Structure 1
Amino acid sequence: MTLRPLHDDFSTSAKIDEALNKRFPAKTRIDYLRLVRASDLHGGEHQARQANIRRITDQARELYNFIQDYERVRAHGEEVTADYTKQANFAVKERARLIAEANRLRNEPGVGNLPYERGAEFILDSAGQFKAVKVDARIAKGQSPQDALNSVREEILECDRAMRAARAAPLPLAEAAKQIEEDVRAFRRGPDVLATMRIRQETFGRNGSHSTQGRVRFPSREVVLDGGNREEVDEGVRFLCWLFPDQIIKKATAELEAAYKDKKPLSLAERTRVIAELESKKLDAERREEAIIRSIEDAGGIQWRRPLANMLAVLGIERAA
């Protein structure tokens, strides 16, 4: 079976064919071609919609020309028949209706679909071996395929919401408070007082003088200004962390505790476990979603796939152990 070229690139098509033969089960080729057909149908629908808009605007333009001809006749003082005037009035109303219809079609949100290029890229870019996964559509008795699809897609959305919540969940209070203490104590920097122990040399003539004592050096750092000039600036915050570390830690921890109201913290290990479970649950739902879509297609219907659908589900595969 010959694959449709990717972007009319026959060498890419050959690479896809080679990858399917080497690393994927035989049925993946059929599932990929199913995706290509759906993508072509979606593209054809978009083109038909654009053609319809062009047809409507062409009709509106013809009516505009008719109205302009009518107005020019009147402007020249020529007599117009009642029937001509009736046609012109109808043209004004019809043109307004056509323009409104064209604007509605332009502004109507389009239904997205998974482009077949994502499937091609997955096949080419993924490494390792894959095996087929069989999944049933699981349509309940008395439930229509579309209702079953809507239900499973709500499951997918709920998994996404739960994963976003898990990723946004704060660390346990104790871990966050520990980090505050570590950062404050690591950032502190006191003055350099050791220089006061030394007599610093000042140069006067050839031999110089050793009568000047060193001075205390307070925390500072050199910054590069616009234009490349350099300047020494004081680091007061580091000095404060050195002077009052316990007070800073205590107050910062109190503010942190206030921010934890109505929060559900997760440790890094717990967060990793929760997200992994949700990803597995979501993939299972996506596999059922694909099975329902295929049942609709096999019955002669058309159902678009979500643009971000998991390619493992769409191609009916999983990584081989």
Structure 2
Amino acid sequence: MNDLTRAFVVCVAASLLAGGCAAKQPSPSRRFIRQGEPKNKVPPKALDPSLQQDSLERTIAKTRELTKHAQPPPRTPIKTAETENGTLASALQDLRIGPTPARQLAVAEAYRRLGILDQALDHYQAARRMNPSSAAAYDGMARVWRDWHLPQFGLGDSHRAIYFAPRSPEALNTLGTILQALGKVQEAEAVFAKAVAIEPAAGYAFNNLCYAAILASDPEAVATCRRALAASPGLRATSNNLALALGLTGELGLAQEAFAQTGTAADTAYNMGMVYLARREFKEADKAFRQATMLNPRARAAWQRLEQVRAATTAATTTSTSSSPP
């Protein structure tokens, strides 16, 4: 057996043992993966574009049908001043029928009473644009600036209101409150007095006159407050102002009786504390405010005033000590 024959025999024997000769060795994929049709082969018809388009159209149609009959979840309506307040809602309904100066003013007043001052100002300004001589519109704008604690911006509007309605106790009262807020107490007192002279039954103006007289240290403050209370017997603010006037003039017993007629025991103690504080009688003020906190532990104002009195007492003691001779 020659060398070529011997090599051929060895190759055949090796192929029986190893599955083939190196010269004819199959690829690894053919050795380890079974040949045949793949199990997950996609049928040719599934790749048909017309079938895919038909499936998409059916899905869209089904979605539209479901959407047509879908119901949104129930929603709780949002409560607003416009829906909850009957006066405002009615005024807005009238305004939608047709805007007039009177309807703009009605909406503005409703907003102002609710404390929604920006909306109130918008409607007062709308009323003024429709009627440039509207005293009520100017007066309303002045009140908004006052209630925003910016009385200086309302002073001009208040004067314009009086220009167009010189005998309006309401406009005069507004001007008085603005002057008082600006610290012009005596001017405010004179304006309130003019309003009362025009309308003696104007309890709000009479009460403001009483308080302005107290602030101005008017010796007739008690008499003025008595007249104010006679004009409006049920006005609690006037009764309290009369008590304050009595207390500041030294009639402390009468002041306490007057306070007791309009409030609780805690209210009376607090108000007497305010009288003592104004009189700079800090020891008595401390006792009154402590009594108010014991009668009503939730009386936040009484606690604040108590701290104020104690701070004032400390400051007064320090000043007295530093000014005394060595």
Do they fold alike, i.e. is TM over 0.5? no
Q: TM-score, normalised by structure 2?
A: 0.15
Higher-strand-fraction structure: 1
Higher-helix-fraction structure: 2
